[in-house]
Amino acid sequence: MINEKIETRHYIINSVRMFISIILLIFFSDYVQSKQAPKSTPRNLTYAFSNNVSINYELIGYGEKKIVLLHGFGTSLHTWDDIKDLFPEDEFTLYLIDLKGFGNSSKPEDDKYTIQEQAVIVKQFIKDINTDSLYLIGHSFGGAVALVTQISLLKEKSKTKISKLILIDCLAYLQELPVFMEYLRTPLLNESSFILPNKLRAEYILEKIFYNKSMINKKLIDRYVAFYEGGGYAYSFNMSALQINPYGYEEIIKAYKTITTSSLILWGKNDQVLSVEYGIKLSKELPNARLEIINECGHVPQEEKSAVTFEKIYAFIKE
């Protein structure tokens, strides 16, 4: 009987200890989670540049390092979907912009779609972020806008500084445009192209810009289909294409030597839209730039080689 009572007492004591341990574990877990930085939720916001131009952008993260990202021609901020979540949100704040005429930004019929006019909007957006310095990333057409934005900021000796410039397969020189761009520059052909199913347009473009065709799946096609949906695209695409080689662009090229900002130029080795030779040329004209070529990659490294692209960007920023 005595042994049974002792065993019963030990059982009760052990059960109480286990219960207390579980309660403490739950409490401690909740306490640790409460002390961690809150998980941020991406927010879609609108920047009112003027009475008839509103710029859609996505805000991600809450870190001290601020990055503005500019997409290429005919796409939107969703070109960064494969890379944006790789940036630690407690370290970075990302501003993913839909340039005027693209994505969910305004598409007014005002004939103002030059690279310089896009840069005016981006420059004001950057100033209104109210930060002393930030990082600017531009892909293709967005790279051209980034270059002109930085040239303008340096020229006016703005208090707002771009700490580092990252250019991905950047449209930096006058050149013969791809066939699909020439179509967009012709109003009749441009209008006709929008009669075609968006899926066919998306598949055609993806075949041109991806090196690894096996990556062209339904998810990617659907993303590009969304780039062409909604009203106003026929006009904004036509005007942007017509004005992509604006008068006076040679003056912009001459100003590259004034960009002393530390710059990283990333280029897909197999880019069929903008040859890697342009990347080599640009790296020699920017005084403080280096070129890194991504093998087995086409025109959109942030989509085709997202992990590699992020690693190179992150390492460059951390230098």
Tell me: do 259 and 188 sit in the same domain: yes
The residue length of the chain stands at: 319
Q: What is the pLDDT of residues 89-114, one digit of tens each?
A: 999 999 999 999 999 999 999 989 99
Tell me: do 5 and 87 sit in the same domain: no
| pLDDT surpassing 80 at residue 304 | yes
Tell me: do 127 and 28 sit in the same domain: no
Tell me: do 23 and 120 sit in the same domain: no
Region of 36 on the Ramachandran plot (φ > 0 left; ψ -120 to 50 alpha; else beta):
beta
Find out whether 77 and 57 touch, Cβ atoms under 8 Å. Answer: yes
Strands 65-70 and 133-139: parallel
Tell me: do 31 and 50 sit in the same domain: no
Tell me: do 12 and 105 sit in the same domain: no
Find out whether 97 and 125 touch, Cβ atoms under 8 Å. Answer: yes
Find out whether 226 and 201 touch, Cβ atoms under 8 Å. Answer: no
Tell me: do 147 and 32 sit in the same domain: no
Tell me: do 236 and 283 sit in the same domain: yes
The reported pTM is 0.84
Tokens in use for 246? 């604006």
The angle subtended at Cα 104 by Cα 98 and Cα 107, nearest 5°, is 90
Tell me: do 18 and 81 sit in the same domain: no
pLDDT classification of 183: cutoffs 50, 70, 90: low
Report pLDDT for 40.
61
Kind and range of the H or E element at 96?
A: strand 92-97
Q: How many domains does the chain have?
A: 2
250 contact partners, CB below 8 Å, separation of at least 6:
174
Tell me: do 93 and 25 sit in the same domain: no
Tell me: do 31 and 48 sit in the same domain: no
In whole angstroms, what is the distance from residue 123 CA to residue 155 CA? 12
CATH code for position 105: 3.40.50.1820
Q: How many CB atoms lie within 10 A of CB 295?
A: 10
Q: What is the pLDDT of residues 5-59, one digit of tens each?
A: 445 455 444 554 554 444 444 444 443 343 344 456 678 899 999 999 999 999 9
pLDDT classification of 251: cutoffs 50, 70, 90: confident
Q: Which residues pair with 102 in a beta bridge?
A: none
Q: What is the pLDDT of residues 192-227, one digit of tens each?
A: 555 678 898 899 899 999 999 999 999 999 999 998
Tell me: do 24 and 67 sit in the same domain: no
In the numeric block, the tokens 């961690």 are attached to: 36
More confident residue, 137 or 176: 137
**Full residue range of the structural domain in which residue 16 is found:** 1-36
Per-residue buried b or exposed e for 270-281, using 16+ beta carbons within 10 Å of the residue's own CB: bbebbebebbee
